[in-house]
Amino acid sequence: MASRTPAASLIADARNAWQILANPARRSEWPTATSRYNYAVAKLFDQLRCGPNGWDARAASLGTCIAAAGPDQTDPFFLDAVFPATAVNVHSVISHQTTDGIGVPAVGWKKTSPVGIRRKPYQLPTGLPYNITVCLSFDTSGPPVWNFTKRWKQETFQVGSTNQTLAADWTATNAFYWKMCDLDDLGIQNVILPERYMEETGLYFITPYDPEKIPVVFVHGLVSSPDAFKNMINELAPQPWFRQRYQIWVYNYPTGNPWTYSSMKFREIMSDACAYARQQGHDRNLNRMVVVAHSMGGVITHSSVINPGTTLYAANYSAPFNQLILPAEKKKYIYDSLLYKPLKEPKRVVFLAVPHRGSPAANLRISTWISRLIRLPKTLTVDLLDTTLHAMSDIAQGASPAKHFPTSIDSLSPNYKSNKALSSIPLPSHISFHSIIGDRGKGNTPNSSDGVVPYWSSHITPVASELIIPSNHSVPDSPQASHELKRILKLHLKN
């Protein structure tokens, strides 16, 4: 409900506070003036955003006007909604991250197509959240001017001859997006019915691509979605150094497919995204990419940055590749999944609770039962199983084929051939690797476990650092993991 206090009275209060904030000689009065200014502007903003007619008409009715849109200013006419950050329930995120300053922290929302419906490349499904700070400026001789400042781009706001820190609510935008988007509700469906959600396999850019910033790519794990990283993103967003130097990409994929297939798709989509990025400008920062990967997402990342040579192929096929008598598209699948070239852009990788050698949990009876429920895409059952039946030498010699094509759970078994082969391939020396590993608290490393992945599987060498933290398998939710990630990203800026 809009404030009933007369607009003229609120504008007078805001103007008086503004004059104090604009005067360096009155610095001692700034804290009180900031509170008075923010209170008055918040009440005025309620009146501005409520009521009939458009933004211009409502602003004029208050005796104000709206600033023209620009590089640092959001156009409220473009958005479907703008509302105070205080209206958002932020309980889904562990800590509420805010910055004190002037203005009213707000969330802007622009609708996009829902999950499962095509949209512009790299655009988030459902909608685009905007972190905005709303201010009313009095620096002109005309009426007061409303400013909708892009808070992720601007740290301060000019008030007379001073620059005042802009207030911000970093958590509200994050929490609101995951309240609106369905991706985080599809974890189980993504496993059991991966084909239904293949349309959402792809990269999303949290902000428009900027060649002046380094991409940090987050890759989630099994029974998950990019919201697995919402607490880490919540910890990174308030950091000015992070916003100035980094940009976030999140990768989404259905987690019922075997990691060898998901890894192939990851490389394909990453290559396309990097080609797109190079069309936007230089690639100096693109070539400094950092990948942060959790659980099975770490296996996908691990396999995508190493050079497999013929090791992965030899673990699955006896006949030389050039002797396989198969249709071209099926040979291409084998080549792209087992004999590929690694991604060249990542220069640092952070592993979070990653089963590099598989997880014994994949062999449990309940896991086997769930695996049998998974309905893989046709390309992975009919077409590729046919490829396997024709190409694998043991089948050709009369051995019985597997009862079903391997699922993601099967592919995480320590007995899975590709897992054994992957762990035998050395990590590339031009990439810095880090491991953050969970320990349920028994203190028995190297016999410890996060409850899903034992230390003997999550431990990998050589790495630039390995940190064991008190955590279950949900390492991305740990404050210690976020703190370590910040340390690593700061280190990356120095190197």
Burial (0-12, 13-18, 19+ Cβ within 10 Å), 112: middle
pLDDT at 177: 93
Structural tokens at position 239:
């950091």
Cα gap 348→288, rounded to integer Å: 8
CB environment 349-361: b (16+ within 10 A), e (fewer): bbbbbbbbbbbbb
Read off the pLDDT of residues 400-430 as tens digits, 9 standing for 90 and up: 344 445 666 777 788 888 999 999 999 999 9
Q: Say if residue 355 is preceded by a cis peptide, omega within 30 of 0.
A: no
- Average pLDDT estimate for 259-265: 91
Read off the pLDDT of residues 2-27 as tens digits, 9 standing for 90 and up: 567 899 999 999 999 999 999 999 99
Element housing 30 (H / E): helix 30-49
DSSP state of 318: S
Helix, strand, or coil here: 150? strand
Residue 394: pLDDT over 50: no
pLDDT at 446: 76
Cα gap 263→421, rounded to integer Å: 15
Could you list the beta-strand ranges (E) of 202-288: 202-205, 214-219, 246-252
φ/ψ (deg, to 5) at 251: -105, 130
pLDDT at 368: 42
Residue 223: pLDDT over 90: no
Q: How confident is the model at residue 493 (pLDDT cuts 50, 70, 90)?
A: very high
DSSP 121-185: TTPPSSEEEEEEEEEEE--SSSS-EEEEEETTT-SEEEETTEEEEBPEEHHHHHHHHHHH-SGGG
Q: How confident is the model at residue 444 (pLDDT cuts 50, 70, 90)?
A: low
- Average pLDDT estimate for 428-454: 87
Which residue in this structure is represented by tokens 């005042």?
164
- Residue whose C-alpha is closest to residue 377's, from 198, 246, 250: 198
Read off the pLDDT of residues 49-105 as tens digits, 9 standing for 90 and up: 988 889 999 999 999 999 998 899 999 999 999 999 999 999 999 999 999 999 999
pLDDT at 382: 37
Q: Say if residue 446 is preceded by a cis peptide, omega within 30 of 0.
A: yes
User: What residue type is 343 in one-letter code?
Assistant: L
Read off the pLDDT of residues 123-146 as tens digits, 9 standing for 90 and up: 998 899 999 999 999 987 889 999
Strand partners, 145: 65, 137
To the nearest 10 degrees (0 to 180), the angle between helices 328-338 and 259-279 is: 90
Spell out the residues 6+ positions from residue 322 whose beta carbon is closer than 8 angstroms to its own. none
The sign of the torsion formed by the CA atoms of 266, 271, 276, 280 equals: positive
What pTM was computed for the model? 0.88
Q: Give the residue with greater pLDDT, 387 vs 416.
A: 416
